Structure 1
Amino acid sequence: MTYQKLRKFTEIFGAVCGGLLISVPAISQTAVAQQPTSATPQQSTAKINPCPSIFYEEPHNSRVIVPQGCPPNALTQRLANQGLLPTARTTTSSPYQAGVGGETPQAGATTLNPCPRIFYEEPFNSRNVVPQGCPPNAFSQGQQPQGNISSQGVPVTPQSSTSRTTTTQTPSASQQQAPSTTIALANGKVDVKLINDTGARVTYQVIGDTEARSLEGKSNVMLQGISTPVTVTFQREDGGLLLVTPQASAEQSGMLEVTLNEATDLAQDTKAMRIQQNGSVFLN
């Protein structure tokens, strides 16, 4: 009996020890499985330099306007001195392009100054027509038909009107210029095809005929039956320089093709085109 009790006790003790040995790895694995995984390090967000050095290297130094808040480069400083920069610019992290690679600025990114002071400085004061709604300069007073000045919405006193008209009716020899081209008119009227070869939107206006309109980059528009004499004004909405090239159409009589390109020299910049009753075309 003693032997049987000892044998049974040994079997029970062995079963208990075996169970403990089997459960230890399982408990270890469960503990390991319940350990939280290490958090993935959060990716750092790279900060963009709003004023990269490329804006101050050629050709960008003389062709690209820097973003608002950056030190001005050569082009920005020159346009600011001439009053051609927009009066307000929305601060963005993207570069503010001006005639490089044909980029078109986003709509609503700029607000143009409708009456830059360059229109009231020589030689533009006596050669350029101011946009509608701006105070007339010397050229506007002398070239507009009688009664059209008031359509620009700016009252003019008789004294200043008489004074300005007297000084601009007989321009000096230095203000005379040869026509850029000549076109044969049809009953005193001309068709004008505007071809915008720039990548920027251009604002144009036929003075006394149309309101200011926009012409998208790489597009064209036909203006038909315009009575002469007439003045057409141009302005790139990104503040860049504009080269205007008029040429009589070889396909259609009485049509003037006007190509708008990006200009890199301030001397080439054109703000207005004048078509006389004899078909002579002048650029200013």
Structure 2
Amino acid sequence: MNYPKFRKSAELFGVICGGLLISMPAIPQAVAQESTPKINPCPRIFYEEPHNNQVVVPQGCPPNALTQRLAAQGLLPVPATPSQEQTNLGVGGETPQPGVRVPVPSSGDQTQQPSTGAVSTEQPPLLQPRQTPSATIALANGTVNIKLVNDTATNVTFQVIGDTAPRSLAGKSDVTLQGLKAPVTVTFEREDGGQLIVTPQASSEPGNLNVTFNEATNAAQGRSAMRIEPNGSVFLN
């Protein structure tokens, strides 16, 4: 009888089965690791109304309409280019589908140099608006308290850029924002879509600014942002 051959076959079969048992637990673990979703810091809601025109996106995210508008006015730093991982994720944590355009900030128009023919992709610096300050206050250790007074009959949405989320201020009411470090930018918008007349006025106490909202009759009077510089100058846009 071929006992040696049978014994070798049994040993070989045992080695194969043992290897399969050892490798099997690793397969579900690998699948579980691959299925773990990545968290996108730039959710889709930033690019949908009304947030598209009311909320400033975090640094590194593709800019929405409000972020682009404030950056063009010199009220925000130039939006940073998103990381490759964020670009791959797209808006809302999804992989971009064919035909779907994910908003990605431009790195600046390419400028043709007539002398050498070289192409430059360097983005020119943003210029601050040249205008007379609407008010000037004396800061208290570089900080300011802002009292917002809504004299309109409708709610006003406001946001301290980089400090607070959008908040609602009811008509005929007020709120005080304390300890804001200059430079600071505040945006505001009537929830009924109308225009706002914004009147900043320095308080008698250092480091305090009163800002009053009134209804505007035309778009030329409307204002949607306020910037307080480290020297105490207050600009409206």
Shorter-chain TM range is 0.5 to 0.7
- Residues 113, 235 of structure 1: alpha-carbon distance in 2 compared, 3 angstrom cutoff: same
Q: What are the equivalent positions in structure 2 for 1:1-284 lying under 5 Å apart?
A: 113-116=50-53, 131-133=55-57, 134-135=64-65, 136-137=67-68, 139-140=70-71, 143-145=75-77, 156=104, 159-160=107-108, 166-170=123-127, 175-250=129-204, 252-284=205-237
Q: Give the Å deviation of 1:161.
A: 10
Q: What is the TM-score when the length of structure 2 is the normalising length? A: 0.56
Match of 1:137, as an amino acid? Q
Distance in 1, matches of 2:136 and 2:80, equals: 26
Q: Give the Å deviation of 1:214.
A: 0.2
Q: Is the CA contact (8 Å cut-off) linking 2:71 and 2:77 kept in structure 1? A: no
Match of 1:177, as an amino acid? Q
Match of 2:152, as an amino acid? T
Match of 2:228, as an amino acid? I
The structure number with the bigger radius of gyration is 1
Distance in 1, matches of 2:161 and 2:168, equals: 15
Q: Secondary structure at the match of 1:214?
A: strand
Q: Give the Å deviation of 1:187.
A: 1.1
Which is richer in helix?
A: 1
